[in-house]
Amino acid sequence: MEKTICELFAGVGGFRLGFDRLGTGWKTTWFSQWEPGARTQWAHKCYVAHFNDSPDMNGEYHTAEDIAAVSKEAIPDHSVLVGGFPCQDYSVAHSLSSAKGIEGKKGVLWWQIRDTIIAKKPPFCLLENVDRLLKSPASQRGRDFGVMLACLDQLGYIVEWRVINAAVYGAAQRRRRTFIFAYKKDTAYAQRMSACLPVDIISQQGFFATGFPIETIEKTCDTSFPADLVEISDTFEFRFENAGFMKNGKVYTAPVKEIEETPTLLGSVLQANVDENYYLTTEDMAKWAYMKGAKKIPRKSSNGHEYVFSEGPIAFPDPWDRPSRTMLTSESTKNRSTHVVSDPGTGRLRLITPVEAERLQGFDDNWTDTGMPPRMRYFCMGNALVVPMITRMGKVLDRIINEEP
Q: Which amino acids are annotated catalytic?
A: 87
| CA 170 vs CA 312, 383, 388: distances in Å | 27, 20, 9
Residues 7 and 16 sit within 8 Å (Cβ to Cβ): yes
Question: Length of the chain in residues, anyone?
Answer: 405
Give Dmax (Cα) for the chain.
67
**CA gap 380, 328 in Å, rounded:** 9
Which residues are 222's β-sheet partners? 252
**CA gap 32, 42 in Å, rounded:** 13
Helices 110-120/143-154 angle, 10° precision: 10
Q: Which helix (H) or strand (E) holds 10?
A: none
Spatial neighbors of 143 by CB under 8 A, at least 6 apart, are 90, 91, 136, 137, 232, 233, 236, 237
**CA gap 18, 387 in Å, rounded:** 5
**CA gap 135, 74 in Å, rounded:** 35
**CA gap 132, 136 in Å, rounded:** 6
Q: Kindly report the CA angle at 80 between 159 and 327, in degrees rounded to 5?
A: 80
Report residue 92 CA to chain centroid gap.
Answer: 23
**CA gap 87, 129 in Å, rounded:** 6
| CA 246 vs CA 128, 138, 160, 176: distances in Å | 17, 23, 6, 21
Q: String of b and e for 159-184 (b: at least 16 CB within 10 Å)?
A: bbbbbbbbbbbbbbbbbbbbbbbbbb
Phi-psi region of 304 (alpha: psi -120 to 50; beta: other; left: phi over 0): left
